A = this chain, B = another copy of it.
């Protein structure tokens, strides 16, 4: 979770491994390595007090839970099966054992839901604010993960739930879409998928970039959350603007053949068809008129 991404995550990608390992990416939040036993997924996310959360407001339990859940969401984005997690923590020296216990309880509660084993970690204290990093290792369901790079012209674009306004609480309390991702992948085929961490407009654009395609979203089909409406009433933006650009919804956006998408919408409740993959361009269609959609995401405030 970036307060502001200093450089693109790709500065840590793309190194040639030896042997028969395959690194899929570089755009995906999760890396894929091929071993004798199949494809393993590896993802890591660091949360920092004052950037990704406010410890004093959120409390350590919700921070621990979020630290695990953002990684679970990255595995969900590939329709993977999360298995093992390790955690490293820099605790403020004055924090006390209660903060450590509550962090741990949050981490474990989030992990347990998906059968993830917390297998190790490194606990430190320092003069700084709370820093917590989780690395999650999973397996590709059915042998193949869903990547960002598979979207095809003509695909429908779908989202798993309402968007926007996560700052009002959802960014701490969301449930990662691990199970629905697996269910979609099983019933698919899905062509491309991503979780919404930086905002719909920005994250869907990652799919377009990686897949070398364009997209159009239909304004009247984008599901807007109550929180987006509430945020809009406070700041003068529209609920739709919040739904398009707010980060940390952690819903999934995926693309699939429209016939497959229609079937999935009948079979799985809560899906919304919100657009179409084009050859090029990036648009929002409002009342039948296409306007350029800026792939701007939310700059995480915390």
Residues of A within 8 A of B (CB): 1-7, 9, 11-13, 15-19, 21, 23, 25, 29-31, 33, 35-38, 42-46, 48-52, 83-84, 86-91, 97, 100-101, 104, 107-108, 111, 115, 117-129, 131, 133, 135, 137
Contacts and interface: CB of A to CB of B under 8 A. Distances in A.
A125 B46 contact: no
Nearest to A24: B119
Most central of A37, A87, A104, A135 by chain B CB within 10 Å: A135
Contacts of A6: 89, 91, 97, 100, 123-125
Copies in the complex: 2
B42 A131 contact: no
Contacts of A126: 3, 48, 50-51
Contacts of A133: 44, 46, 88, 122, 131, 133, 135
A48 B124 contact: yes
16 contacts: A15-B117, A17-B84, A21-B83, A29-B120, A36-B37, A37-B37, A42-B86, A42-B135, A44-B121, A46-B90, A51-B125, A122-B133, A128-B128, A128-B129, A131-B133, A133-B135
Contacts of A36: 37-38
Given A3-B126, A5-B124, A50-B127, A16 B117 contact: yes
Contact of A31 (B30, B35, B86): B86
A9 B122 contact: yes
B5 A123 contact: yes
Contact of A131 (B31, B43, B97, B128): B128
A4 B125 contact: yes
A88 B125 contact: no
Given A21-B84, A35-B37, A48-B131, A123 B42 contact: no
Contact of A12 (B7, B35, B121): B121
A273 to B, nearest CB: 31
A91 B3 CA distance: 11
A31 B11 CA distance: 28
B21 A120 contact: no
Top 9 nearest A-B pairs (CB, nearest first) are A37-B37, A17-B117, A12-B121, A46-B88, A135-B135, A133-B133, A31-B120, A31-B119, A44-B86
A48 B48 CA distance: 13
Contact of A123 (B2, B83, B115): B2
Contacts of A2: 122-125
Contacts of A101: 11
Chain B CB count within 10 A is highest, among A21, A42, A86, A137, for A86
Nearest to A28: B120
B37 A88 contact: no
B119 A33 contact: yes
